[in-house]
């Protein structure tokens, strides 16, 4: 075994060992270099005096201990030097158990922080702190024979060598001194000597020393000075390592005589050694949370603290501790991690824990500086409490026929955190709501269960309902073995006096249409739901859109009042509905609906949809038209239809391509353009039908419509001649009017002729040569006869004046007054002047004039019609058709103009005269 000797020897360690050999004991002494990782012993080396001292003075003691251990299987004590903090599993020392035997051997310690392995190794069971004073404990060994032995183990904490108390050493005069070490926070008196700086040049010159830089001429100023002739550096005040951990200034050596540097400038470093003058400071969060009922060792949070002292020294080695030893939490001394020590955290008992945490430096030694802080740990809720009912059962009542009413509130209690999913209740009806009469909701404010009746009850059918309501949470249960709770609920239905009820509520009746009036199609009665009797109930009609049904007040019989027509607009898909009301003796009412299904009968003939058809001529093909028919009846009383020509058809037409509801009508031979009437017989599937007349117009078409028979798109030679003749006639008419208006005679001489005359009408007033004296009526014409002719009374103007209208009628009843523009002026005659005019004209002349005026008035009115083809359609023509498309039409009518006094030319003046007609007939 190696025993270290003189542990403070700087370079070497002398070791003493002992080995047992049969019959003798050999002691070896060797020297080991401190820097060696594995000890190497040199035997027979020249030993220092300390080694001889070990041999002659310590060896006898060593041998004595060895002899005692030979008598016992264990040494009496063990001593080991250990660091201040022992992590779990750290090997402290080893006990040789070989001499005690291994069978049935029991090894224990009186310190639970340490344990002995089977091979005798002593280890730490958990993180253990060894104070500066050290630590002792006993190891007990019991053999199977019952014999007990003990070993005292002494742990000595390693202490760093204090360099501040070391004696000053004199350095060889060289210009490379080691760093100067100074303790921080030194106390007075100042200045204090630190180290001597010396240059090799002092052997050749008389020199002195100066310093400058940080700590001298810079911050911290005047902290260091030097004795010039000695080179002794002095410190003039306390230093704070946390402010200046090291200071480097520059030293210079100069010749006393020349004041020149005799050596190069030398940087001198002053290292400020740390002193434990700063307590730990807490940093980081101090509030944490953990779920209730979590497992042991669940992490809660990490506490952090810092120390401004030198981190390489124990002054900054922080250890954490909870001051409350009964706390349900544990804190790791070095990492500051807080974990749980129990799995019984209950938020409902205590939802917040306040932990007093201590952070102490010097690795937790009692001599270290410390601070405390309060850590808040909030226990988070989990759904480990189910909702509970305050009662064991509940009851409610509801009137029959009531719906959408609240009948019951069910309160519950939940210990979990309010307004969370762990607390919010959700109610479910697990039994009794198979018919869907109930609905259950949760009041979000009170967390109560609300039971509604959504479908009404009938007391005569249901008097009581038993429900079972379960209370759940929005979140699932966890951390508990409980199940959701249920409670029974009894709902009683109360009776009310109800109105009569129809049985059934909707009556379905089948009726054929056209049934005779007064026919009873059904009897619709109601009963009192309490007595199930129809006594005293009267019936009334509420809705009958077509007034087809009468409801018998006393019996409820439904009689036909009017003809029922399935094809009526009141019928939808063959159904016709009426509403009947029943009223009992207490004036309570009930309603029912009668749905009448109307069966069809064959009461409608097929009808041709369009009887006026147009057949357009095409080159080489006579063309065809399609006849469409419809029947308001339904199959089998309607299509397919049969089509055939009537008995009175002339054989010019034939039917082809007959389908269900249509047939094609085609000319049997080439037919000229014109209008044709064809009798067609259409019958339904049952052979019911009639003959109908179809009109077909054959023509040439443009855009699907017929062209006018006498219209032409271009002017022919005869059209040009007709227009020239019309223009000539208009010129002649104007000349005649001018001739009449310019006469200077006192009276107008009208030629006694049957052809009449044309008067000048383009003057706006009488000329110079016009005689303004009133005309004289003929002696044989009385004033009354003039009145009969319709002439106006005096005061309206004179002969030849334009723009005046004289309404009147011919004795035949035809009007003779016209607007005086264009061809004729009407007469404005006063009483005396009328007589003078009538006396100056013969009876035959007046008759001719009136006749021509009436004739021209009719023609002008006729030509004012907007129809393009009407101006030449009113007279029979004996000439051939000359083409189509010409707006002037045919001019063949002009060939009939004979004598110059014949007015027949006025029947075909043509389109040029149309403009004059529109002007003359304008209102």
Three-class DSSP category at 865: coil
CA angle at 232 for the pair 228 and 236, rounded to the nearest 5°: 100
For residues 893 and 719, the answer to whether their CB atoms sit within 8 Å is no
Of 716, 673, 700, the residue nearest 910 (C-alpha): 716
Sign of CA dihedral 816, 820, 821, 825: positive
Of 805, 842, 844, 811, the residue nearest 825 (C-alpha): 805
Question: Residue 460: CA atoms inside 13 Å, Cβ hemisphere, count?
Answer: 10
Report the distance separating Cα 270 and Cα 248, nearest Å.
6
Q: What would the 3-class secondary structure string for 786-846 be?
A: HHHHCCCCCCCCCCCCCCCCCCCECCCCCECCCCCCCCCCCCCCCHHHHHHHHHCCCHHHH
Q: And the tokens for 524? A: 């619709």
Question: Residue 572: CA atoms inside 13 Å, Cβ hemisphere, count?
Answer: 4
Sign of CA dihedral 901, 906, 912, 916: positive
Q: What pLDDT shows up at residue 145? A: 75
| DSSP assignment of 218-231 | BSSTTSEEEETTTT
Sign of CA dihedral 235, 240, 245, 249: negative
Report the distance separating Cα 129 and Cα 756, nearest Å.
156
Taking every pair of Cα atoms in the chain, the longest distance, rounded to a whole number of angstroms, is: 205
Chain centroid to CA 561:
58
Q: What pLDDT shows up at residue 720? A: 65
Q: What pLDDT shows up at residue 535? A: 84
- The CATH architecture one would assign to domain 388-494 is Sandwich (2.60)
Fold agreement (163-273, 607-690): yes
For residues 329 and 343, the answer to whether their CB atoms sit within 8 Å is no
Q: What pLDDT shows up at residue 821? A: 34
Q: What pLDDT shows up at residue 102? A: 56
Sign of CA dihedral 685, 686, 690, 691: positive
Q: What pLDDT shows up at residue 116? A: 85
What top-level class would CATH report for the domain 163-273?
mainly beta
Q: Is the peptide bond before 220 cis (omega within 30 degrees of 0)?
A: yes
Task: Express each pLDDT in 525-583 by its tens digit.
Answer: 998 877 778 888 899 998 999 999 999 988 888 999 898 888 888 998 889 999 999 99
For residues 652 and 672, the answer to whether their CB atoms sit within 8 Å is no
For residues 880 and 716, the answer to whether their CB atoms sit within 8 Å is no
Report the distance separating Cα 856 and Cα 850, nearest Å.
10
Q: What pLDDT shows up at residue 299? A: 95
For residues 602 and 608, the answer to whether their CB atoms sit within 8 Å is no
Q: What pLDDT shows up at residue 151? A: 86
Sign of CA dihedral 425, 429, 430, 436: negative
| DSSP assignment of 497-533 | ----EESSSEEEEEEETTPPTT-EEEE--EE-TTT--
CA angle at 137 for the pair 132 and 138, rounded to the nearest 5°: 160
Q: What would the 3-class secondary structure string for 275-295 be?
A: CCCCCCEEECCCEEEEECCCC
CB atoms within 10 A of CB 276: 19
Is 204 exposed, middle or buried (CB count within 10 Å of its CB: 0-12, 13-18, 19+)? Answer: exposed
Report the distance separating Cα 151 and Cα 916, nearest Å.
155
The CATH topology of domain 607-690 is: Immunoglobulin-like (2.60.40)
Phi then psi for residue 781, to 5 deg, are: -115, 120
For residues 671 and 621, the answer to whether their CB atoms sit within 8 Å is no
541's enclosing H/E stretch is strand 538-543
Q: What pLDDT shows up at residue 911? A: 64
Sign of CA dihedral 359, 361, 363, 367: negative
168: Cβ–Cβ under 8 A, 6 or more apart, which residues? 193, 195
Q: For 3-157, CATH number?
A: 2.60.40.60
Q: And the tokens for 545? A: 């859109």
For residues 383 and 414, the answer to whether their CB atoms sit within 8 Å is no
Q: And the tokens for 328? A: 């349900």
For residues 602 and 637, the answer to whether their CB atoms sit within 8 Å is yes
For residues 581 and 542, the answer to whether their CB atoms sit within 8 Å is yes
Report the distance separating Cα 540 and Cα 591, nearest Å.
9
Task: Express each pLDDT in 44-55 by its tens digit.
Answer: 334 444 444 434
Report the distance separating Cα 202 and Cα 255, nearest Å.
9
Of 547, 542, 574, the residue nearest 563 (C-alpha): 547
Three-class DSSP category at 551: strand
- The CATH architecture one would assign to domain 501-599 is Sandwich (2.60)
Q: What pLDDT shows up at residue 921? A: 62
Question: Residue 9: CA atoms inside 13 Å, Cβ hemisphere, count?
Answer: 18
- Give the CA distances from residue 723 to residues 188, 901, 910, in Å, rounded to whole numbers and listed in that order: 149, 20, 7
Three-class DSSP category at 645: strand
Report the distance separating Cα 69 and Cα 234, nearest Å.
57
CA angle at 577 for the pair 576 and 582, rounded to the nearest 5°: 150
Three-class DSSP category at 236: coil
Q: For 281-380, CATH number?
A: 2.60.40.60
Q: Where in the chain are the domains?
A: 3-157, 163-273, 281-380, 388-494, 501-599, 607-690, 723-920
Which positions of the chain have pLDDT values less than 50? Answer: 1-71, 169-174, 709-716, 744-842, 844, 866-875, 877-881, 886, 888-901, 923
Paired strand residues for 266: 251
């Amino acid at each position: 075994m190696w025993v270290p000797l003189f542990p403070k020897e700087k370079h070497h360690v002398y070791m003493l060992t002992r080995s047992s050999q049969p019959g003798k004991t050999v002691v070896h002494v060797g020297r080991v270099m401190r820097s060696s990782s594995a000890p190497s012993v040199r035997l027979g080396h020249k030993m220092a005096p300390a080694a001889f001292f070990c041999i002659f003075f310590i060896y006898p003691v060593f041998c004595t201990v060895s002899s005692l251990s030979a008598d016992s299987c264990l040494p009496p004590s063990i001593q080991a030097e250990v660091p201040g903090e022992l992590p779990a599993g750290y090997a402290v020392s080893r006990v040789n158990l070989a001499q005690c035997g291994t069978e049935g051997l029991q090894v224990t310690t009186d310190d639970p922080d340490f344990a002995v392995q089977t091979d005798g190794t002593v280890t730490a069971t958990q993180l253990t702190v060894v104070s500066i004073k050290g630590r002792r404990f006993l190891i007990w060994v019991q053999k199977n024979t019952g014999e007990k032995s003990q070993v005292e183990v002494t742990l000595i904490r390693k202490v760093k060598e204090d360099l501040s108390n070391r004696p000053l050493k004199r350095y060889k005069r060289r210009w490379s001194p080691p760093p100067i070490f100074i303790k921080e926070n030194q106390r007075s008196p100042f200045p204090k000597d630190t180290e001597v700086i010396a240059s090799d040049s002092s052997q050749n010159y008389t020199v002195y020393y100066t310093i400058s830089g940080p700590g001298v001429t810079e911050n911290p100023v005047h902290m260091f000075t030097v004795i010039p002739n000695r080179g002794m550096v002095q410190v003039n005040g306390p230093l704070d390592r946390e402010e200046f951990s090291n200071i480097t200034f520059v030293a210079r050596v100069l010749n006393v005589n020349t004041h020149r540097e005799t050596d190069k400038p030398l940087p001198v470093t002053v290292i400020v050694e740390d002193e434990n003058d700063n307590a730990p400071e807490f940093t980081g969060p101090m509030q944490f949370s953990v779920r209730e009922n979590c497992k042991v060792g669940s992490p809660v949070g990490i506490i952090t603290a810092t120390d401004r002292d030198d981190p390489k020294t124990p002054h900054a080695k922080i250890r954490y501790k909870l001051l409350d030893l009964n706390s349900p939490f544990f804190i790791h001394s070095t990492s500051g991690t807080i974990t749980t020590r129990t799995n019984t955290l209950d938020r409902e008992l205590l939802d917040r824990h306040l932990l007093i945490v201590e952070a102490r430096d010097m690795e937790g030694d009692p001599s270290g500086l410390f601070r405390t802080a309060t850590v808040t740990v909030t226990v988070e809720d989990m759904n480990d409490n189910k909702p509970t009912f305050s009662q064991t059962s509940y009851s409610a009542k509801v009137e029959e026929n009531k719906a959408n009413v609240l009948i019951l509130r069910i309160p519950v209690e939940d210990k979990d955190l309010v307004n969370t999913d762990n607390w919010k209740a959700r109610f479910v009806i697990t039994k009794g709501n198979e018919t869907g009469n109930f609905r259950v909701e949760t009041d979000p404010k009170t967390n109560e269960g609300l039971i509604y009746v959504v479908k009404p009850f009938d007391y005569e059918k249901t008097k009581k309902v038993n429900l079972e309501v379960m209370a759940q949470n929005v979140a699932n249960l966890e951390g508990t073995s409980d199940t959701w709770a249920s409670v029974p609920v009894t709902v009683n239905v109360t009776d009310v006096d109800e109105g009569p009820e129809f049985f059934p509520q909707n009556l379905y009746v089948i009726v054929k249409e056209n049934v005779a009036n007064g026919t009873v199609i059904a009897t619709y009665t109601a009963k009192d739901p309490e007595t199930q009797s129809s006594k005293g109930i009267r019936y009334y009609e509420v809705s009958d859109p077509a007034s087809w049904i009468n409801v018998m007040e006393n019996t409820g019989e439904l009689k036909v009042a009017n003809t029922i027509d399935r094809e009526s607009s009141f019928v939808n898909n063959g159904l016709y509905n009426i509403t009947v009301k029943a009223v009992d003796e207490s004036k309570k009412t009930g309603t029912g609906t009668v749905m009448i299904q109307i069966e069809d009968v064959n009461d409608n003939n097929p009808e041709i949809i369009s009887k006026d058809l147009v057949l357009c001529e095409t080159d080489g093909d006579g063309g065809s038209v399609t006849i469409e028919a419809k029947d308001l009846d339904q199959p089998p009383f309607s299509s397919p239809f049969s089509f055939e020509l009537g008995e009175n058809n002339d054989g010019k037409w034939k039917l082809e391509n007959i389908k269900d509801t249509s047939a094609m009508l085609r000319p049997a031979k080439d037919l000229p353009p014109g209008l044709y009437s064809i009798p067609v017989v259409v019958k339904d599937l049952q052979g019911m039908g009639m003959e109908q007349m179809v009109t077909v117009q054959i023509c040439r078409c443009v855009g699907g419509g017929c062209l006018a028979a006498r219209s032409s798109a271009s002017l022919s030679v005869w059209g040009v001649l007709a227009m020239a003749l019309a223009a000539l006639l208009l010129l002649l008419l104007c000349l005649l009017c001018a001739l009449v208006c310019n006469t200077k005679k006192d009276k107008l001489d009208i030629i006694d002729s049957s052809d009449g005359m044309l008067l000048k009408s383009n003057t706006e007033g009488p000329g110079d040569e016009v005689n303004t004296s009133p005309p004289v009526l003929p002696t044989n014409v009385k004033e009354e006869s003039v009145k009969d002719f319709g002439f106006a009374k005096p005061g309206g103007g004179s002969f030849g004046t334009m723009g005046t209208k004289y309404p009147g009628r011919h004795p035949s009843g035809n009007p003779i007054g016209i607007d005086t523009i264009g061809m004729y002026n009407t007469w404005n005659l006063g009483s005396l002047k009328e007589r003078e005019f009538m006396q100056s004209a013969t009876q035959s002349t007046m008759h001719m004039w009136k006749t021509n005026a009436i004739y021209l008035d009719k023609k002008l009115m006729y030509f004012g019609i907007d129809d393009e083809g009407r101006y030449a359609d009113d007279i029979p023509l004996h000439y051939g058709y000359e083409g189509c498309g010409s707006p002037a039409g045919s001019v063949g009518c002009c060939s009939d103009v004979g004598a110059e006094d014949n007015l027949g030319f006025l029947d075909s003046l043509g389109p040029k005269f149309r403009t004059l007609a529109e002007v003359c007939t304008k209102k």
